[in-house]
Structure 1
Amino acid sequence: MSINKTPTNRVYTYIAQRGVVSRAELMKEFSMTSSSMTRLLEEMIADNKLQESGRGSSTGGRRPILYETNPTYGYLFGLEISRIYSSMGLYDMHMNRLSSIRWKMDESMTPHVFMKRVHSAVRKFVQEHDLQPSSIVGMGVGAVGPLDRERGLILDPVYFPAQGWHNLPICELLEAQLGFPVLLDNGANTALVGEHWALRSEHYQHMLYVHVGAGLRSAVMSNGQLVYGATDMEGAIGRMIIQAGNLSQPGSPIDGALESFVSVHAIENEVRELAAAGSLALRGETGSGNGEALSFELLLEALSAGEPIVREKFKQAAAYLGIGLANLINVLHPEKVILGGALINAHESVFETAVEVARSHTYYYPQYKPLFSKGLLKEEAVAVGAAVMVLKQLP
């Protein structure tokens, strides 16, 4: 959801991203007269949005006053809604995490139960930090898609263990319970916003984020702004065709789409078939009915124990991921590529193999070398980015 940004909002966001700035820097950036900028800064200080932060170095005259945002002006919630785990954090205006909580998304976690958990956690955090309800600026939600961001709807998510998550007016329901504004975007976008915020001192403008878990999700940033399409694009990377398969049956497991080879479910399915055929024996049953998190945990145990067939399946998935990444890199030319999700974090070899294959298929390499990383925020990226999304839309 986007808004018409006021001069106050633009200046506030700029200062928040830079940390500490001088009036001269702001005037240069926003082409405002000295009197207009002075008046705007005085108003923002009077509203407690900004505070003075000492003085800068002298360039011949008086040392300039430096400004920064006031961390206690307000407080933000960031909420991640995902397939295996969901989480929520409370942050001040400098994005310092004050409290956080995590929930397992099992068969019992219907929207009704989930809303009660969120409501209870919000009240607990507010009481623990002795906050006034009026100081809560809002909540950002990074959710599994597809979504209708403008209407605040979670449309038709797949692989959710619990029922009731289809066509869910998540923003309306949360606002009714919590009493403050709620903004929605897909989790890949908010993760990229969070990582971009964490890396703001390095001034990256072109970034790619790919999350590899129960499914594949991606987000793209160009010139410092998220790239949106005509529809929610979060899961589009999973439909990238990397192998000509059964093209007469789009959406089938053998249609050549990347997600057919690279996801938690893809590996689980392959291992189940091997186990059923007697080619593999694991402790417990991978399809035990205890949910995808349990079966994936069994795979992780086998991977850590060095089970050759399981290790090969993870390596194969990582190699296919590398091909998908190379395709995106050759089209988008990002400066930095951030990889996250359960599959990436399963074993260091997954990340290393994916990066190696991606680099070996990158056009103009080694003259063009995008940087690869697991990010700074890792599992907290979605929630942090959701909170940053609210901060950036502060009126």
Structure 2
Amino acid sequence: MNTTRAGSKGLIRDMNRSRVLNIIASHGPISRVEVARQSGLTAATITNIMNDFINADLVWETATEESSGGRPPILLRINPSAGYVIGVKLREYKVIVVLCDLECHVLYQTESPLPIDAQPYQVVDIIAADFEKCLHENQINHQDVLGMGVGVSGLVDEKRGILRYSNFFRWQNVELGPALEFKTRVPVIIENDVNMLTLAEYQYGSGRISSTCILVSIGHGVGMGLIIGGELFRGAYGSAAEFGHITMDSSPTAPPCTCGKRGCLEAIISDYGIIYAALGGELGFSDEQLMQTLINRARTGDTQIQAIFQRAGEVLGIALANLVNLFDPAQILIAGEGLRDEDLLLKPARAMIPQHTFGHIRTDVPLITVPSDNRRWAQGAASVFLHEVFRPPIYETGKILPIDNLLQRAHTRTRKK
């Protein structure tokens, strides 16, 4: 169990270093004066921390081209090649692995198919092989990899690295994190995939405008990530924000959901739900070719298919209005394969939101579509581990802090030059 760290000079030092590194990573290139302002630390403390970072080649000093006269101001930025992170997106039919630098830029990507009814040990072996491929193809030393983030659909115990339940794989209580740490010999974080995409958008994308960020994913399933006060909200048992499984239809004829219930939001607006409504029976999970056929039929005037998309969009709008009533977000990010033709769902959804928000005050909540291809999902997985690297060390875990690893490896690499 993690315990709150007792106050000490070491704790204060660690928190100050992490705070400064996080500011530079999030807002760099940035001046020392601005770092001091945002951190609340004295100029002397900033100087001491920056000397350590610069000597370790973890932070670079760069001169801006803009100057009001005299010597150009010196700005600080993270050295992106001071360390690397692996991001993994686990889909029901393949695994996508990316190599990212400290600015979360994707340097390399590889994909591998998964066998039908893949077992956990098979998936672990495939991910470990792709991990080694990333290092070999890019001539990266193993000791320069800080860790790995793995995104998977389902309920995750991220503290223990356990996949509690995945409806795609029908897995329960799989110790995915420990198994991957054993195979790859790097720290591993397992997280719900939509949480990872949400964090990536919050740190590097369209979600940076507010400390509250909501992302809804629509496609093979329906998921949601929620950030409040800059931190992922997971709930008491790690299953918060299961937006796809809120009940939207309690009638006896409500459509079945892949979770085993009826009338879930996912059973109505996901690819599976659209296909079920169109065929009048269960197909299983999404069929990409069939979904494109249904979209084409709706575009060319098939009123029956248009009505299915219209109802799905209206139900989505009511559900999104409830999110507005609960969290009052500045915007809602929308991602996923379900937006192949976004107007089919989002046009009726936008029309419904003002009708179901409290007091009709929020009538113009922006729905922002964001990219969500395989590369972006895997990049989101890498961003979760980077988030841990820059997180202030409030808790005592018994493990070496990521920032200590980063500084040690940077020092070692500098001495070898």
Q: TM-score range by the shorter chain?
A: 0.7 to 0.9
Partner of 1:313: 308
Partner of 2:9: none
Tell me, in whole angstroms, the C-alpha distance in 2 between the residues paired with 1:7 and 1:261. 48
Tell me, in whole angstroms, the C-alpha distance in 2 between the residues paired with 1:101 and 1:190. 19
1:119 is aligned, of 124, 128, 131, to: 128
Tell me, in whole angstroms, the C-alpha distance in 2 between the residues paired with 1:200 and 1:341. 15
Letter of the aligned partner of 2:50 in structure 1?
Answer: L
Q: Conserved in 2, the CA contact under 8 Å of 1:79 and 1:140?
A: yes
Q: What secondary structure does 1:167 align onto?
A: strand
2:318 is aligned, of 315, 323, 326, to: 323
RMSD across aligned C-alpha pairs, in angstroms?
3.0
Q: Conserved in 2, the CA contact under 8 Å of 1:87 and 1:102?
A: yes
1:347 offset after TM fit, Å? 4.9
Aligned pairs (5 A) from 1:352-391: 352-363=347-358, 365=360, 369-376=364-371, 378-391=373-386
Q: Conserved in 1, the CA contact under 8 Å of 2:317 and 2:349?
A: yes
Q: Conserved in 2, the CA contact under 8 Å of 1:216 and 1:237?
A: yes
Greater alpha carbon shift after TM alignment, 263-272 vs 381-390: 263-272
Greater alpha carbon shift after TM alignment, 339-348 vs 22-31: 339-348
Q: Conserved in 1, the CA contact under 8 Å of 2:226 and 2:241?
A: no
1:130 offset after TM fit, Å? 1.1
Tell me, in whole angstroms, the C-alpha distance in 2 between the residues paired with 1:333 and 1:103. 41
Greater alpha carbon shift after TM alignment, 378-387 vs 317-326: 378-387
1:259 is aligned, of 248, 266, 269, to: 266
Q: Conserved in 1, the CA contact under 8 Å of 2:108 and 2:134?
A: yes
Q: Conserved in 2, the CA contact under 8 Å of 1:246 and 1:254?
A: no
Partner of 1:34: 43
CA offsets per residue over residues 116-166 of structure 1, 9 Å max, x none?
221222222211111111111111112212111111001111133xx6x32
Greater alpha carbon shift after TM alignment, 205-214 vs 81-90: 81-90
Partner of 2:345: 350
Partner of 1:110: 119
2:161 is aligned, of 132, 152, 164, to: 152
Partner of 2:415: none
Aligned residues between the structures:
375
Q: TM-score, normalised by structure 2?
A: 0.80
Aligned pairs (5 A) from 1:86-101: 86-101=95-110
Letter of the aligned partner of 1:215 in structure 2?
Answer: G
1:198 is aligned, of 174, 190, 204, to: 204
In the alignment, structure 2 segments of 5+ residues that lack a partner are 6-13, 390-402, 404-417
CA offsets per residue over residues 71-101 of structure 1, 9 Å max, x none?
1001111111234554221111122111113
Identity of aligned residues (%): 23
Tell me, in whole angstroms, the C-alpha distance in 2 between the residues paired with 1:105 and 1:326. 38
Distance 1:70 1:174, change over 3 A: same
Establish whether residue 301 from structure 1 lines up as the match of residue 293 from structure 2. yes
1:171 offset after TM fit, Å? 0.8
Partner of 1:187: 193
Letter of the aligned partner of 1:344 in structure 2?
Answer: L
Distance 1:368 1:323, change over 3 A: closer
Distance 1:171 1:53, change over 3 A: same
1:379 offset after TM fit, Å? 4.4
Tell me, in whole angstroms, the C-alpha distance in 2 between the residues paired with 1:227 and 1:330. 17
Q: What secondary structure does 1:268 align onto?
A: helix
Q: What secondary structure does 1:166 align onto?
A: strand
Partner of 2:398: none
Q: Conserved in 1, the CA contact under 8 Å of 2:245 and 2:265?
A: yes
Tell me, in whole angstroms, the C-alpha distance in 1 between the residues paired with 2:243 and 2:264. 9
Distance 1:16 1:365, change over 3 A: farther
1:366 offset after TM fit, Å? 6.2
Partner of 1:177: 183
2:331 is aligned, of 315, 327, 336, to: 336
Q: What secondary structure does 2:199 align onto?
A: helix
Q: Conserved in 2, the CA contact under 8 Å of 1:262 and 1:317?
A: yes
Q: Conserved in 1, the CA contact under 8 Å of 2:199 and 2:380?
A: yes
Partner of 2:414: none
Tell me, in whole angstroms, the C-alpha distance in 1 between the residues paired with 2:261 and 2:234. 29
Establish whether residue 49 from structure 1 lines up as the match of residue 22 from structure 2. no
Q: Conserved in 2, the CA contact under 8 Å of 1:18 and 1:200?
A: no
CA offsets per residue over residues 44-75 of structure 1, 9 Å max, x none?
11122111111475578854321000010011
Tell me, in whole angstroms, the C-alpha distance in 2 between the residues paired with 1:267 and 1:384. 29
1:355 offset after TM fit, Å? 2.9
Q: What secondary structure does 2:280 align onto?
A: helix
Q: TM-score, normalised by structure 1?
A: 0.84
Letter of the aligned partner of 1:21 in structure 2?
Answer: I
Partner of 1:13: 22
1:339 offset after TM fit, Å? 1.1
Q: What secondary structure does 1:76 align onto?
A: strand
1:104 offset after TM fit, Å? 5.1
The structure richer in helix per residue is 2
Tell me, in whole angstroms, the C-alpha distance in 2 between the residues paired with 1:94 and 1:77. 12
Letter of the aligned partner of 2:265 in structure 1?
Answer: L
Q: What secondary structure does 1:230 align onto?
A: coil
CA offsets per residue over residues 225-259 of structure 1, 9 Å max, x none?
22231022356212323344359xx9897754323
CA offsets per residue over residues 272-319 of structure 1, 9 Å max, x none?
326xxxxxxxxxxx84xxx734x3421322322445433432332222
1:181 offset after TM fit, Å? 0.7
Tell me, in whole angstroms, the C-alpha distance in 1 between the residues paired with 2:280 and 2:64. 67
Tell me, in whole angstroms, the C-alpha distance in 2 between the residues paired with 1:154 and 1:182. 13
